[in-house]
Structure 1
Amino acid sequence: MPLVSRAARAAPDPIVIGDLNSYSALPAFTRPYRKGWKLAQAEINDAGGVLGRPVEVVSRDDGGAPGQAVTVVNELIRRHGAELLMGTLLSNVGLAVADTAAQRRSLFLAAEPLTDALAWSQGNPYTFRLRPGTYVQAAMLAERAAKLDAKRWAIVAPNYEYGQSAVKAFKRLLRAARPDVDFVAEQWPPLFGIEAGSVTQAVASADPDAIFNVTFSTDLVKFAREGQLRGVFEGRDVVSMLTGEPEWMQPLGADLPEGWIVTGYPWDTLDTEAHTRFRDAYRARFDEHPYMGSVVGYTALHALAKAIEQAGEAGADAVAAQMRGLSLDSPFGGIRFRSVDQQSTMGTFVGETAVRDGRGALVDWTYKPGEAYLPSDDTAAEWRTAAGN
């Protein structure tokens, strides 16, 4: 019987981080997200791990369903001993995971969900959020929308938490900047169940000056193609959340409507030192360009690793204490997790859609830092306190 080597006996136990996301339901975003955290994991472990221990990510599919996600969280905690969790995409799934993780006193870094309930009305001491939420992205778009001549607006948004919170924020912020605007039509198709013909017909019948769109994924493809076919976008401004991200532009190809004002990610023209280094490493490892999901997964794991290092241990309470106020570099530049609401200051890009060489592109973009649009610490504290958090 062979002897176990001294090195093998001395190998430190890994730090286990539980990951869950909608890998089967929304692969366009989650596959790049997985590649992003895998790149970060390789960088961390190649540099000696965290506290001298390798980082192990146990990853599971949440199926895009809150109930299934809760089951997965319990499995990650009970079976794999993961006190630290990250991931999720859909807002309703993220809220379910945040509630369960808090009950189990496990830290949850919500990497992608955009509902602001995670930071404010349903925030808790164990939940942190990486991406700019619906309020911040709506504020960025409302700022541009207020400069348009448009007074009559139509709304198209998926009828679930993300769509509802995005529309609520956009309407509130645009009305504050432009009291003369009127919302003349609202279409609320079910998530991933849009009947694009009837939706675009209803929008056209209201004869708006502009449209605020919040659909994404397959709903966006159907809405954009049907709207172009019917000429609904001609002579109208369109302001659209997330449409400038490569995950959601790519399926449209040359059918992408041009000139929409959008939030997105200019992976091909963002040439800062930090992003170029990330883009080159990502391409070298996966032989493809990065997506927004790639940036999210990469930054999420690096954030947890830095907080563990500073905490000196991987326990949820100790890491959470370090996450509050944590500063780190990301492919978009330096970001910080605010202590007051545990929301990061990561921003995003606002520009216009265009077709270049048969594919969608974000052009004439500007990076908008999250801290410029987040509510003040006092306001965020009031919102959390009013909700009992």
Structure 2
Amino acid sequence: MTTRVGSLLRLTAFMVAPLATALVSVGAAAQTIKIGEINSYKAQPAFLGPYKNGWNMALDEVNAAGGINGKKLEVVSRDDNGNPGDTVRVAQELVTGEQVSLLFGGFLSNTGLALADYAKQRKVFFLAAEPLTDKIVWQDGNKYTYRLRPSTYMQVAMLVPEAVKLHKKRWAVVYPNYEYGQSAVATFKRLLKAAQPDVEFVADQAAPLGKLDAGAVTQALADAKPDAIFNVEFGADLGKFVREGNTRGLFKDISVVSLLTGEPEYLDPLGSEAPVGWIVTGYPWYSIDTPANRKFVAAYETKYHDYPRVGSVVGYSALMSIADGLKKAKSTDPDKLAAAFKGLSVDTPFGPITYRAQDNQSTMGAYVGTTAVKDGKGIMTNYRYIDGASVQPSDAEVAKLRAAD
């Protein structure tokens, strides 16, 4: 009898232990908000390494301050291999397998558009941190998708007035041949022609992303004899273009206007070979003397023993946007989050931004300046910050572009 009672007690304990563990897990999950993050870490490490540092720093700050309405944030991150198909597969895994409450991330425009469509179809909230394509908030926009970084249109619109000041007639363009590059060039041509009707475009050089044949491209540009060049290449392709152009003397007596080239991710690797006199968008973190930037730079350097890049700002601001959105919504419900983000104000290292109700685009801006070389390194000089709100099309134009929610 005693043996039987002992066996029953042991059996009961064996059955209760997993149940207790499960209850503890459920209790812990109830105190955590799980967020899914998707990005092309292997494909674009120069930008996305600092970006991940940025959102991790923000995550630590939010949780150290008590989390969101008493709940800690947990980020579950996945790599999409820079492929739209993998992006959707990973999103599905995060939503159904990991049961995340929302998604953020994206780098390339094509993967960002895939995530935006997934968010629309599955009614999942998605904050596009980096993808620059205009379609993500306009033609393919939807109520569940918001975007942090200034769009392709916005950044081109920041540069066009500087291009007009050059008074150059014959322009050539060089760009990566996918959504971002195509959109940037189309917008530049349209806005420049509107401001300077006599402008001519004498050469178009488009190459697959990551596969620029710099010798052939620079020779074709030289043969066209342009007065100025609009460049949209970035990353390794930018390095190839700059080095080959320097070697062949392409840039001598030719003005260059260039998207993203002032970003430390792409300018710093060039070292003393960095271009001089290019008009660029970027982030001169080392000399921006605002309280928000000084605080961010000091905290980032303390945490990582490294300096921040644009990716760091984007990652940090994305996670902080999500935190502020969750506080305002007081819920992880996708519809409530989408409503909370309309008109949401967020403090960032660039200063306060607002997510526009018209198109779900934030008003984050960018720095526009001129490249130079100092102490063997590329820098930005004569720069100024341009508020994203100042380079948006009119509400009437947005309404025509914006797809129905």
Q: Is the shorter-chain TM-score for this pair beyond 0.5, marking a shared fold?
A: yes
The TM-score normalised by the length of structure 2 is: 0.93
1:169 to 187, 203, 213: 187
Offset from partner CA, 1:240-283 (integer Å, 9 cap, x none): 00000000112111111111000001110112001111111111
Greater CA drift, 297-306 or 11-20: 11-20
3-state SS of 1:146 partner: helix
TM-score by length of structure 1 reads 0.96
Quick one: which amino acid aligns to residue 158 of structure 1?
P
2:358 alignment counterpart? 340
2:235 pairs with 1:199: no
SS of the equivalent of 1:338 reads coil
Does the alignment pair 1:67 with 2:85? yes
Task: Show the 5 A alignment for 1:97-136.
Answer: 97-136=115-154
| Residues 142 and 404 in structure 2, CA contact (< 8 A), matched pair in contact too | no
Q: Is the 8 A contact 2:67 2:73 kept in 1?
A: yes
| Equivalence for 2:45 | 27
Letter in 2 for 1:364: N
Matched, 1:258 2:276: yes
SS of the equivalent of 1:233 reads coil
Instruction: Work out the number of aligned pairs and report it.
Output: 386
Structure 1 counterpart of 2:95: 77
* Identical counterparts, % of pairs: 54
Query: For the Cα contact (< 8 Å) 1:73–1:101, is it kept in 2?
Result: no
Give 2:8's aligned residue: none
Residue 316 of structure 2 aligns with an amino acid whose one-letter code is: Y
Post-superposition offset of 1:362 = 1.2
Query: Aligned residue for 2:262?
Result: 244
Gaps of 5+ in 2: 1-12
Indicate whether 1:143 and 2:143 are aligned.
no
Seen in structure 2, the aligned counterparts of structure 1 residues 291 and 180 have a Cα distance that, compared at 3 Å, is same
Aligned counterparts of 1:150 and 1:8: Cα–Cα separation in 2: 65
Shift of 1:83: 2.8
Higher-Rg structure is 2
Counterpart for residue 9 of structure 2: none
State the AA in 1 paired with 2:224. A
Secondary structure, in 3 states, of the residue corresponding to 1:204? helix
Question: Matched residue of 1:132: which SS?
Answer: coil
Aligned counterpart, 2:387: 369
In the alignment, the residues of structure 2 paired with residue 9 and residue 152 of structure 1 have an alpha-carbon distance, to the nearest angstrom, of 65
* Aligned counterpart in structure 1 of residue 76 of structure 2, from 58, 67, 73: 58
Aligned partners of 2:272, 2:308: CA distance in 1, in Å? 20
Q: Are residues 1:36 and 2:62 paired?
A: no
Deviation at 1:8, TM superposition (A): 9.6
Counterpart residue type for residue 349 of structure 1: Y
- Listed as ranges, the gaps of 5+ residues in structure 1 are none
In structure 1, the residue matched to 2:232 is 214
* Separation in structure 1 between the aligned mates of residue 381 and residue 81 of structure 2, nearest angstrom: 34
Letter of the 2:398 counterpart: A
What's the offset of the Cα at 1:377?
Answer: 2.0
The equivalent of 1:317 in structure 2 is 335
1:152 offset after TM fit, Å? 0.2
Counterpart-to-counterpart distance in 1, 2:135 and 2:281: 20
| Over 2 Å off, 4+ runs | 1-4, 6-13
Give the structure with the higher percent helix: 2
1:286 paired residue among 292, 304, 307: 304
Match of 1:270 in 2: 288
TM-fit CA distance, 1:356: 1.7
